[in-house]
Structure formats: structure tokens, C-alpha cells
Amino acid sequence: MTVPVKGNLLTVAETAKALGVTEETVRRYIRERKLKAEKKRVLGLKKVWLVSQDDIRRFQDE
């Protein structure tokens, strides 16, 4: 499913691709608070995890 997102926020799928890991791994990083993310309502229907590109860079630098 493609989720329209504005700005520098990426979905779990996009974050996984950027990090070279699976979507489940990204969700685990979020659960374990290794990767900062925020849950936002998209299209008023569904809440999805969104990760900023800055937070991805910080995560990669650790």
C-alpha cells in the first residue's frame, strides 16, 4: 500500500529500503526505541509509523 506523506517523513517500508533491512526489523527498532518514529493518522483511516530522514541518519551514525 502506498501512503501519501509530505515532508521528510518515510513509511516503514521506505525506511526499511533506506536501511537495507526488512519492514519487521524496522518495526522492532521502533518498538525497542532504537529508532525514533511517530504514529500518524493518514487519510483519516489508518495510523502508520513514520520516520524522519534526520532520525534515519542519526540511527545510522550510532
Q: Where in the chain are the domains?
A: 7-38
* pLDDT of the chain, 62 residues: tens digit per residue: 455 556 789 999 999 999 999 999 999 999 999 999 999 887 777 889 999 999 999 999 98
Query: DSSP assignment of 9-62, as one string?
Result: EEEHHHHHHHHTS-HHHHHHHHHTTSS--EEEEETTTEEEEEEEHHHHHHHHH-
- Flag whether the pTM goes above 0.95: no
Strand partners, 51: 10
Q: Are strands 9-11 and 46-52 parallel, antiparallel or unpaired?
A: antiparallel
* Location of C-alpha cell 530522514: 53
Residue 23: phi and psi, rounded to 5, are -60, -40
